[in-house]
């Protein structure tokens, strides 16, 4: 399976955010979308999730030689700031999600098995989500995407504000989930992208460019990437 972007463009009034973006993502890999704050990483995700209308171009899934448009079930989106219904408990939220997606969920398991997989303690499962920490809310976002098993998982800087233990748990989880799906992980932290991702994609000057991770081992190449990002921030 491939996710293909062709000639994507996006403008906000007179500001051109994307300049004819074309790129092919392949299943089984975690892609690090590396760019400065304000480079357009979230805007790109919102276009791919169809929350924002692009101004040109297209994107689609290619599988077994067949091309098809993406549908909502294809894409999972984990926001940097978790959005969960805080008036529900963790268990109520999970049950609600399972109930409305029951027909499309494969290999449905008991709810407590899902909580176990995310290391959410038994005493926290019946607490209101408003009393969850940022990291636990983030885990709940991840959990519904684990259950739904989307073909494409968009992760908008989900580890930036997590403590070191939760962040490491999330990284291990993402590595275990990458087979059979396309994971695109946005970040402005170069070392995090190097640690977690199979491929690095630089979003700079409104374009996407693949970066050879082997080259990133050299100080000179890291400085080149940082300089490109610095120039992008000065535009």
Q: Which CATH class is domain 2-84+151-233?
A: alpha beta
> What's the alpha-carbon Rg for the chain, to the nearest Å?
18
Distance, CA of 1 to CA of 3 (rounded, Å): 7
Q: Strands (DSSP E) along the chain, which ranges?
A: 2-12, 15-26, 29-34, 56-63, 66-68, 75-78, 152-156, 182-187, 199-204, 207-211
Above 60 in pLDDT, residue 232? no
Distance, CA of 41 to CA of 97 (rounded, Å): 27
Above 80 in pLDDT, residue 110? yes
Cβ pair 221, 34 in contact under 8 A: no
Give this prediction's pTM. 0.86
Above 80 in pLDDT, residue 226? no
Instruction: Give residue 207's pLDDT.
Output: 87
Instruction: Give residue 102's pLDDT.
Output: 84
Above 70 in pLDDT, residue 216? no
Question: Between residues 186 and 35, which one has the greater pLDDT?
Answer: 186
| Mean pLDDT within 12-38 | 89
| Mean pLDDT within 126-131 | 96
Cβ pair 102, 108 in contact under 8 A: yes
Kindly indicate the confidence band of residue 11, based on its pLDDT and cuts at 50, 70 and 90: very high
Residue ranges per structural domain of the chain: 2-84+151-233
Above 70 in pLDDT, residue 24? yes
Question: Between residues 213 and 46, which one has the greater pLDDT?
Answer: 46
Q: What is the mean pLDDT of the chain?
A: 87
| Mean pLDDT within 37-53 | 90
Query: What tens digit of pLDDT does each residue of 60-95 get?
Result: 999 988 999 999 889 999 887 888 999 999 999 999
| Tokens 């275990």 sit on residue | 176
Above 70 in pLDDT, residue 228? no
Q: How much of the chain, in percent, has pLDDT values that exceed 90? A: 46
Instruction: Give residue 8's pLDDT.
Output: 95
C-alpha dihedral over 4, 171, 199, 44, to 10 degrees? 40
Query: What tens digit of pLDDT does each residue of 129-187 get?
Result: 999 988 889 889 888 988 888 999 999 987 766 677 777 888 888 888 899 999 999 98
Reading across the β-sheet that carries 29-34, which strands appear in turn?
Answer: 75-78, 152-156, 182-187, 29-34, 199-204, 207-211
């Amino acid at each position: 399976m491939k996710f293909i972007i062709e000639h994507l463009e996006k403008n906000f009034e007179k500001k051109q955010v994307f300049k004819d973006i074309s790129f092919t993502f392949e299943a089984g890999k975690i892609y690090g979308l590396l760019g400065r704050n304000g480079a357009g990483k979230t805007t790109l995700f919102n276009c791919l999730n169809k929350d924002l209308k692009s101004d040109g171009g297209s994107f689609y899934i290619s599988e077994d030689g067949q091309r098809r448009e993406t549908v909502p079930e294809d894409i999972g989106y984990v926001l940097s700031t978790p959005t969960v219904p805080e008036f529900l408990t963790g268990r109520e939220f999970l049950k609600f999600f399972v109930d409305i997606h029951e027909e499309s969920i494969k290999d449905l398991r008991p709810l407590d098995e899902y909580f176990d997989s995310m290391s959410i303690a038994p005493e926290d499962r019946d607490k209101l989500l408003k009393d969850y920490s940022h990291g636990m809310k983030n885990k709940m976002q991840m959990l519904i995407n684990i259950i739904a098993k989307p073909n494409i998982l968009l992760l908008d800087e989900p580890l930036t504000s997590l403590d070191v233990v939760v962040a490491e748990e999330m990284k291990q989880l993402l590595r275990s989930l990458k087979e059979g799906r396309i994971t695109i992980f946005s970040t402005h932290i170069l070392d995090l992208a190097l640690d977690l991702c199979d491929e690095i994609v630089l979003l700079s000057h409104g374009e996407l460019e693949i970066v050879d991770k082997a080259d990133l081992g050299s100080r000179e190449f890291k400085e080149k990437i940082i300089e490109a990002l610095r120039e992008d921030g000065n535009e």
